[in-house]
Each structure stands twice: as C-alpha cells, then as structure tokens.
Amino acid sequence: MGTPAYQKYQQLLTEKLEKAFQQEQEIKDAASYISTALKNQGWIYACGTGHSHMLAEEVFYRAGGFARVRPLLLPKLMLHESATGSTDEERKEGYAPLLFQEYEITERDVLIISSNSGRNSVPIELASHAQQKGAKVIVITNLAHSQSVTSRHASGLKLYQLGDVVLDNFGEIGDAALQFEGLNTAVGPTSTVIGTALLQAILVEATAQLLAQGIVPDIFASSNSDQGGAHNDALLEAYKPLVKML
C-alpha cells in the first residue's frame, strides 16, 4: 500500500523544520532585536495578509506570549469578511497609513511581517515604512517562491529585500507540498506550520536573552488555567489603554 499520505506530509514537515531551525544565527538575531526592543520599552508589531495574518495573531494575547505586542490586523486584508477580496486588497498600495493609524512605530520597535510569496504590495510597503521609522524588520517568507516571481509593488522590491533579518520557511513554490497521481494541484501547505514554529522559537530565545540580563518580561498566562485569570487581569489593566485590540 505504500506510505500513507499523512505520513508523507509529516515527513515533509519534519525535513522542513530541520532546515528551518538550522537558521541559528537568524533566529538569534531576530530574538536580539525583540529583546532589545522590550528592554527599551519598545513594541512588537506583527502583521500578515491572507493566511499569513495567522502568524500575527499567533503572537498576540497568547498564553506564554509577550504582552507588549500590537497586531496590525485589518479585516479587508484577512479572510473572514471576503477571502477573494483580501487577495485583491493585499496587492494595493497605500495601506501603511491605515495599519499604523493607531500607533506611531519608532526606532525602539520591531515589526514581524510574514508573507509566503513576499511579492504583494501591503507587506512590502509596511516593511519599508517601518524601516523608514528606524524600526527593525523581521521577515518570515518562502525564499524559493519569492525569488521565482516578480514584485507587485511599484518599487520592484520583494519583502525579503527589506528585512533586517530574514527567515526562510523552506516551502515549495506555491506552498502546497504533496503531489497525487490524478490530481493536477498539490495539497498540504507548510508555511503556517513552519512559520509559527520559527516565530515561537524567536520569542522563546528573546525571553531567555531578557532573563539573562535580569529583565523579567510581561508574559500572558493561559486564561483557562486556575491562576491565569488573575495574572492576566493585572497585565490587561496596564496594557488595554495601549493596545487597541485588547
């Protein structure tokens, strides 16, 4: 019968995770940008369009996650109002002022931005805007895909060209990774799994760096644990006035 499809997918993920975690210097550098920002009372901004918005949500109000996170989540660029509409919108320029209308990103801050293709205007524009303001930019992307396509931004740049540190998710071109006989479209995308693992690895490393400096960061606990509610209430009192979506 051969190897079951789910095991083939597991093997692919394992291989890609192995490659992704070999980016040791990039992980440490990204963590250093974050720990430095938090040490200096800066903010972690996070954004992604389409399915990549899930990585921005992954670091926001998360059990075991930093409290100093400001997600940039605009419904038009996500999937829950109009999935096809979001595809059109992420190709348009002019979104940086909308996404940053509530906040002023500065040189003390970090922007984490995820885009599998790295070719669409919104993530490129956001990365450029952040760099112009002096913030560090951490990019999670698929380099093979990005380098195989043209930019959709007027600058001609792609997202990986605007990162202070760039992490590759080692995905296939088109993201879906498994081919089946009789089906002309691949299945089994990997960008979310690998991207999330890389992202959490960076945050874990940043936490260790802060603690090594004697700095205890504000971290959310699970609100579904017996002690988490009281712990989080204290953080929410402090951060709700500062983070729109809390």
Q: What is the CATH number of the domain that holds 203?
A: 3.40.50.10490
Q: Which domain holds residue 43?
A: 19-239
Higher-scoring residue by pLDDT: 229, 221: 221
Evaluate whether residue 59 is within a structural domain: yes
Whole-structure pTM value: 0.96
Evaluate whether residue 2 is within a structural domain: no
Residue 200 has pLDDT above 90, yes or no: yes
Evaluate whether residue 44 is within a structural domain: yes
Strand locations in the chain (E): 44-48, 69-71, 110-115, 136-141, 165-168, 176-178, 187-189
Q: What is the mean pLDDT of residues 41-70?
A: 94
Please write the tens of the pLDDT for every residue from 132-169: 999 999 999 999 999 999 999 999 999 999 999 999 99
Three-class DSSP labels, 42-97: CCEEEEECHHHHHHHHHCCCCCCCECCEEECCCHHHCCCCCHHHHHHHCCCCCCHH
Evaluate whether residue 23 is within a structural domain: yes
Rounded Cα gap, residues 230 and 144, in angstroms: 46
Please write the tens of the pLDDT for every residue from 34-54: 999 999 999 999 998 889 989
Percent of the chain whose pLDDT exceeds 90: 81
Evaluate whether residue 1 is within a structural domain: no
**Residue-level pLDDT at 164:** 98
Instruction: Give the chain's domain count.
Output: 1
